[in-house]
Structure 1
Amino acid sequence: MKLTRPLLALATALLAPAALPGLMPSAAAQTLPDALAQAYANNPTLLAARAQLRAVDENVPQALAGWRPTVSISSSASVLDASTRSRPRGAPGATYTDSDRQIYQNSVTITQPVFRGGRTVAGTRRAENQVLAQRARLLATEQQVMQDTVTAYVNVIRDQELLRLNINNEQVLTEQLRATNERFRVGEITRTDVAQAESRLAGARSNRAQAEGTLQISRSVFQRLVGLPPQNLLAPQPLRPPVLNAQDAALAAAQNNPNVVALLFDEAGARDNINLQLATLLPQVNVSGQTFRNDGAALPNTRQTGTQLTASLTVPIYQGGAEYAVVRQARQSAQQARQQVEDQRRIVGQSATQAWEQLQSSKAQVDSVRAQIRAAEIALDGVQREAIVGSRTTLDVLNAEQELLNARTSLVQALSTVVSQSYALASTVGRLTAGDLGLAVEPYDMRAYYNEVRNRWFGLGDYSGVAERR
């Protein structure tokens, strides 16, 4: 008997490749763009990466603080109970004077850095490169979340189809066993044929139970990423490749992959760190102004007020040699960062080539499996007819049915691989962000929080809301 489900939901995936994920409109359906938009807005991994970027943004105002003055107020109160013994030369005895008074000292000091050896400039440049690197890492996290969501979405559809195939196969084998028992009763076949049918049915029930468990796992992964359980998913179309061949894919990945971009800014920050450490060897100039009021500091019932302006120059001569080691260490770290960039370029180039080749091979596999299914259907029909006239055994029919089931299972898996790999290729070349996919979401503004806090001189509030334009 043939499997009764002629079409698979995933079979629509290769009908018309599109530049963006397109699905048939349906009010009751949960489309891939819907799932991606939900993940973009609510995925905890992505939200944590955005918070991490905002934390790194604060490195810039910390570095800019080197240009700004520091202001401090100092106050002290004390009680003095002293006795002074004096003995003038030639005097017959000593004279004792008691001094009991309260002393109050108050001062306001403002210190303005004038030159810090270039530390502020280097530190600011390093902080800005750290921000740019973290923005690239946020894009990498966004792409990873988008890719994981696509994979989870496709896996749910795939596992639903595999479960349907296994249920249908179980029903077919149940009917096959019933027919086999009938033929055994009339003496057309032997007990061996019945046992073979029973064995295949038991195996089909085991496979169906396993498929049910796999589907539940896929559904839980989907809910973890998206935040909602899957509901009536529609099969997506694969993305049209953003490159023309494997060579273009490798080149685009080496230039646009967010992980490469992040390491490029890390390298720039490592070079800035060299200048930052060199600043410890250079002079520093500060100007400070102080206004003060001291009551009872010198004599009881006296008050001293005034202002003081001080310019100080500090020239480091030798500090034990540790500062030279730190500079040398920074140079080696910069060389390490440079090699990490090259290594990452090779990694993403290899990944892009692999993704391209896997996509092409999966497409070819789909065509081959479709031809295999057509041939298996014809073979099964022929074996069933021959079995009726006694030229084929029950085992031949069971084997033909299993071969057709295997071919249809392979088609479902190949179609899901085509869709997943098309998105994986886009991710590798840096084209799987919400903007690239055209999702109907309010984009997260990576610059909003940075602009809000960059030049703030004070403030303890949470300004993260400026980046959420909702």
Structure 2
Amino acid sequence: MNSTRPFSVLTAALLAPIALVAQAPQARAQTLADALAQAYANNPTLLAARAQLRAVDENVPQALAGWRPTVSITNSFGYLDGRIRTLSQGVDPTDPQRQVGVTNRNDRTIATNTVVVTQPIFRGGRTVASTRRAENQVLAQRARLLATEQQVMQDTVTAYVAVIRDQELLRLNINNEQVLTEQLRATNERFRVGEITRTDVAQAESRLAGARSQRARAEGDLQISRATFLRLVGLPPGQLLAPQPLRVPFRNAQEAALAAAANNPNVVAALFDEAGARDNVNIQSSALLPQLSVSTQAGRNDNQVLNHSRQTFAQVTANLTVPLYQGGAEYSAVRQARQSAQQARQTVDDQRRAVVQQATQAWEQLQSSKAQVDSVRAQIRAAEIALDGVQREAIVGSRTTLDVLNAEQELLNARTSLVQALSTVVSQSYALAATIGRLTAGDLGLAVDPYDMRAYYNEVRNRWAGLGDYSGVAERR
């Protein structure tokens, strides 16, 4: 029987794990670092998350607009068909004392031009609270972008490892089919000379049919993994080099859980969401406070009363509005905002518990997979020895064909388990890094142009006007 070593590169890699850095590229082969860099630059989910952050950045200039004046120009132009009717005496020559109504036409073109400048002075604290809330929304969205980036990195690692795993599983199943084909040929030869019965031939045929089914399934699984890789990375997988697992700086699950509770992007986003929810209470409360503004108005009215007349004016007014009672909706909005702030506080606790659970699960799965690798290696060594013994004993007639088939199947199962355990070790090491917020392009040392989350924010924060698309500034280093 042919003996092969499954997932050999990953087996060697487990003996020399590295820190949170990606593997160096090799000639004519695609490394995990190459796939991660390609996903970082082209993954649609990540690109959409960056666009969403830029949209949230615009909340800040919208809030700051509360400090700025508003300027409006009102122009109107029209035609007035007017009539003026008066009582006049002496119009009737037959009776000079009689008063007669006289109508005079007053048709004219009218025009109005007005410029109004309003400068807010005090809005009940709404502008200050809105700006703080917008800043917290931006920081929360930045954390969510990091979470999305980590998720894309983790999914890419999983897809990359899945392609290698399914390639190895397909190779094992092809090898098993070849071995069982040879086994069936040898069984038929022994049946012809009368050494075994037809039952032995049927058992060999059954196992071969099952092996063909498993090989077809493995081919389908590989194509599915390749399609997932293409969706995440944007390129089909080529010759993939088996990656090394990451080594995280923790000695136990408790340390990993504490780091996740403090650094996980989802927890950070929830904290800023809570701060924004508290700011919203102040925003809603501002509707109950006085509002002060200054308005300047200048204008010109042409032919408003009489033809060929013009009226010009200019005025400055201070406007103070003190709300007394407005139906009660404002009080309800304040109460509602307070309840939303309580909800945000509970969400923070929920996120912390969730990431602690995720970190603990990733740690335990990583440790159990490493232990499984050692156990399965010992199982493979014992299964290889057992298979060799059963094959020799079958030649002299002390073992049946079924015993040989069972020994071959046990060895195949052990090798399959080793491939799956090795892939789990790699995937869970990256999953553990993601739970503690250390699976970004910077942490992995990818050779990419980093996306600057602050560039667009700095570009638009103090802009008073402009319709341009400034998203390109975030891509420039």
Distance 1:25 1:133, change over 3 A: closer
Residue 200 of structure 1 pairs with residue 223 of structure 2: no
Structure 1: how far apart are the matches of 2:285 and 2:429?
Answer: 48
Equivalent residue number for residue 264 of structure 1: 271
Equivalent residue number for residue 94 of structure 2: none
Structure 2: how far apart are the matches of 1:394 and 1:260?
Answer: 59
Equivalent residue number for residue 129 of structure 1: 136
Distance 1:228 1:186, change over 3 A: same
Equivalent residue number for residue 81 of structure 1: 81
Structure 2: how far apart are the matches of 1:416 and 1:6?
Answer: 11
Distance 1:451 1:281, change over 3 A: same
Residue 71 of structure 1 pairs with residue 78 of structure 2: no
SS of the residue corresponding to residue 178 of structure 1 reads: helix
Identity of aligned residues (%): 80
Equivalent residue number for residue 153 of structure 2: 146
1:380 to 356, 381, 387: 387
**Where do residues 2-401 of structure 1 align in structure 2 (5 Å cutoff)?**
2-5=2-5, 8-23=8-23, 25-87=25-87, 92-401=99-408
Amino acid at match of 2:59: N
Residue 2 of structure 1 deviates from its aligned partner by 4.3
- Tell me, yes or no, if the aligned pair for 1:103 and 1:295 is still in contact at 8 Å: yes
Structure 1: how far apart are the matches of 2:463 and 2:25?
Answer: 48
Deviates more, 1:104-113 or 1:402-411: 104-113
SS of the residue corresponding to residue 99 of structure 2 reads: coil
Structure 2: how far apart are the matches of 1:422 and 1:439?
Answer: 17
Q: For this pair of structures, how many residues does the alignment match? A: 470
- Tell me, yes or no, if the aligned pair for 1:9 and 1:161 is still in contact at 8 Å: no
- Tell me, yes or no, if the aligned pair for 1:29 and 1:233 is still in contact at 8 Å: yes
- Tell me, yes or no, if the aligned pair for 1:78 and 1:103 is still in contact at 8 Å: yes
Distance 1:310 1:344, change over 3 A: same
- Tell me, yes or no, if the aligned pair for 1:249 and 1:356 is still in contact at 8 Å: yes
Structure 1: how far apart are the matches of 2:185 and 2:4?
Answer: 17
Amino acid at match of 1:77: F
TM-score (norm 1): 0.98
- Tell me, yes or no, if the aligned pair for 1:31 and 1:233 is still in contact at 8 Å: yes
Residue 299 of structure 1 deviates from its aligned partner by 1.6
1:377-400 Cα offsets, whole Å, 9 max, x none, are: 000000011011100000000000
- Tell me, yes or no, if the aligned pair for 2:433 and 2:439 is still in contact at 8 Å: yes
- Tell me, yes or no, if the aligned pair for 2:78 and 2:111 is still in contact at 8 Å: yes
Amino acid at match of 1:55: A
Equivalent residue number for residue 452 of structure 1: 459
- Tell me, yes or no, if the aligned pair for 1:139 and 1:433 is still in contact at 8 Å: yes
Amino acid at match of 1:34: D
1:189-215 Cα offsets, whole Å, 9 max, x none, are: 111111100110000000000000000
- Tell me, yes or no, if the aligned pair for 1:32 and 1:236 is still in contact at 8 Å: yes
Structure 2: how far apart are the matches of 1:345 and 1:448?
Answer: 30
Distance 1:129 1:25, change over 3 A: closer
Amino acid at match of 1:115: F
SS of the residue corresponding to residue 320 of structure 1 reads: coil
Amino acid at match of 1:212: E
Structure 2: how far apart are the matches of 1:190 and 1:215?
Answer: 38
- Tell me, yes or no, if the aligned pair for 2:183 and 2:204 is still in contact at 8 Å: yes
Residue 455 of structure 1 deviates from its aligned partner by 0.3
CA RMSD of superposed structures (Å): 1.5
Structure 2: how far apart are the matches of 1:25 and 1:147?
Answer: 19
Q: Unaligned 5+ residue runs, structure 1? A: none
TM-score (norm 2): 0.96
Structure 1: how far apart are the matches of 2:151 and 2:68?
Answer: 40
1:31-87 Cα offsets, whole Å, 9 max, x none, are: 000000000000000000000000000000000001001111111112122222334
Structure 2: how far apart are the matches of 1:215 and 1:311?
Answer: 74
Q: Unaligned 5+ residue runs, structure 2? A: 90-96
1:465 to 442, 447, 472: 472
Residue 7 of structure 1 deviates from its aligned partner by 6.4
Structure 2: how far apart are the matches of 1:323 and 1:239?
Answer: 54
- Tell me, yes or no, if the aligned pair for 1:3 and 1:172 is still in contact at 8 Å: no
- Tell me, yes or no, if the aligned pair for 2:257 and 2:357 is still in contact at 8 Å: yes
Distance 1:179 1:7, change over 3 A: farther
Structure 1: how far apart are the matches of 2:322 and 2:26?
Answer: 74
Deviates more, 1:206-215 or 1:240-249: 240-249
1:155-193 Cα offsets, whole Å, 9 max, x none, are: 000000000000000000000011111111111111111
- Tell me, yes or no, if the aligned pair for 1:23 and 1:235 is still in contact at 8 Å: no
1:403-450 Cα offsets, whole Å, 9 max, x none, are: 000000000000000000000000011110011111111110000000
Distance 1:339 1:48, change over 3 A: same
- Tell me, yes or no, if the aligned pair for 1:165 and 1:405 is still in contact at 8 Å: yes
- Tell me, yes or no, if the aligned pair for 1:32 and 1:234 is still in contact at 8 Å: yes
- Tell me, yes or no, if the aligned pair for 2:147 and 2:266 is still in contact at 8 Å: yes
Equivalent residue number for residue 438 of structure 2: 431
